[in-house]
Amino acid sequence: MILVTGGAGFIGSNFVLDWLAGSQEAVLNLDKLTYAGNRANLAALQGDARHVFVQGDVGDSALVGRLLAEHQPRAIVHFAAESHVDRSIHGAGDFIDTNIVGTFRLLEAARAYWGGLPEKEKADFRFLHVSTDEVYGSLAPGAPAFTEQHVYEPNSPYSASKAASDHLVRAWHHTHGLPVLTTNCSNNYGPYHFPEKLIPLMITNALAGKPLPVYGDGMQVRDWLYVGDHCSAIRRVLEAGRPGQTYNVGGWNEQPNIEIVHTICTLLDEMRPREGGPSYRTQIAHVKDRPGHDRRYAIDARKIERELGWRPAETFETGIRKTVQWYLNHPDWVAQVQSGAYRDWVATQYGAAAGA
């Protein structure tokens, strides 16, 4: 068995579904079920004895200790985190509590559990920490992409909290010997993505006839990674990564935000055209840029390819088409997650341009 934290969130639920689709090894899934955690993401696993779900907080040391003692996982894959930059700007407290304090308490519980294992199980145990490229800060146009040796320069409360958690994981390896692995990924997209993030927000707003809010000039550049590729990278790192090492995971797909929005509109024009109406591009509305908005992220993923033989299977063209089709096929999921509280938050964040 493996323990997955945050396994009802976007990337976590995709990982759990992917893992159980390709393995008989069970998953103990610990998720607090905050606004972005959704049991509906895991509906396909209902009745599957290989999936054990526990609602709880990674910062609850007593709970985590009991779960480790009872289920004896051979690895922990740590997704649980507050992850939205905009929310961290409005209120950083949850990010400090979950990303820093929660990771610290999880590391301590893992260290106590690992320390008591028999030698063979102790040697095989792994703690895989899932992080972000945002810890590296912002790249100038034309600057080399982030490597694993890049200096940390976080610019938002979110990225600062993730940087702190990365440092804790590293310290628990070098000080205590805990066999850790860290992955720093680029922007993920795909099924079950909560519609506060760029790609699902554009898809759902377009279909609802609402404005498509684009920050500033829309020329912020990101490296886009299909979530299924991210899952395969994590599996590979867990399988063969060297303890204490960091692996950057990217999609080799740098594009500015405005081009992402244009691509989504073009796909929707093809796949769900507005009857007798203009292109979805007419709904684009530029809004005031957010404070401290990083202009460019880019991942150099050569290390994971060189050492572990991993490379993404999807191009952006194939991945974004799959993603748009998924949202077209799952309107009930979208309606379920877009609660009144979510609509209020979108209105606060984007103002009248959100059309909430």
User: Catalytic: 269?
Assistant: no
Round to whole Å and give the CA distance between 21 and 57. Answer: 26
227-270 pLDDT, tens digit each: 999 999 999 999 999 999 999 999 999 999 999 999 999 999 99
Q: Which of 113, 136, 158, 280 is catalytic?
A: 158
* Local structure of residue 290 (DSSP, 8 states): P
User: Catalytic: 133?
Assistant: yes
Q: Which of 134, 166, 196, 254 is catalytic?
A: 134
Give the tokens for residue 169. Answer: 């994981």
49-76 pLDDT, tens digit each: 999 999 999 999 999 999 999 999 999 9
Q: What CATH code is assigned to 2-190+224-255+296-315?
A: 3.40.50.720
Q: Which of 82, 133, 166, 254 is catalytic?
A: 133
User: Catalytic: 158?
Assistant: yes
- By the 8 A CB rule, do 261 and 284 touch? yes
Instruction: List beta partners, residue 246.
Output: 182
Q: Is the pTM of this model over 0.85?
A: yes
- By the 8 A CB rule, do 192 and 13 touch? yes
Q: Residue 66: which residues within 8 A CB-CB, separation 6 or more?
A: none
Confidence of residue 85 (pLDDT cuts 50, 70, 90): confident
CB burial of 35-69 (b: ≥16 within 10 Å; e: otherwise) equals: ebbbeebbeebeeeeebbbeebbbbbeebbbebbe
**Residue-level pLDDT at 35:** 75
Whats the size of the chain, residue-wise?
356
Of 15, 32, 36, 55, residue with least CA distance to 193: 36
Q: Is the pLDDT of residue 344 over 60?
A: no
